[in-house]
Amino acid sequence: MNSFQDFSFGVIPLKKIDLQWSILLVHQNAKYWSFPKGHRETNETPLQAAKRELQEETGLVVSKLLIDEPIVERYSFFNHGTSIEKTVYYFIALVTGVVKVQEDEILEAKWVRLEEAYDLVTFSQGKLLCKQVIDILSEIK
- pLDDT tens-digit readout, 87-109: 999 999 999 999 999 988 899 99
What is the chain's pLDDT, residue by residue, as a tens digit (141 residues)?
A: 688 899 999 999 999 988 899 999 999 877 889 999 999 999 999 999 999 999 999 999 999 999 999 999 999 988 888 999 999 999 999 999 999 999 888 999 999 999 899 999 988 999 999 999 999 999 885
Give the contacts of 97 (CB within 8 A, at least 6 positions apart): 58, 59, 60, 61
Options 3.90.79.10, 3.40.50.880, 1.10.40.50, 1.10.10.10; CATH for 2-139 is 3.90.79.10
**Domain definitions of the chain by residue range:** 2-139
Helix residue ranges per DSSP H, the chain = 46-58, 114-120, 124-139
Q: Which of 87, 8, 86, 85 shows the shortest CA–CA distance to 50?
A: 8
Sign of CA dihedral 49, 54, 69, 94: positive
Percentage of the chain exceeding pLDDT 70: 98
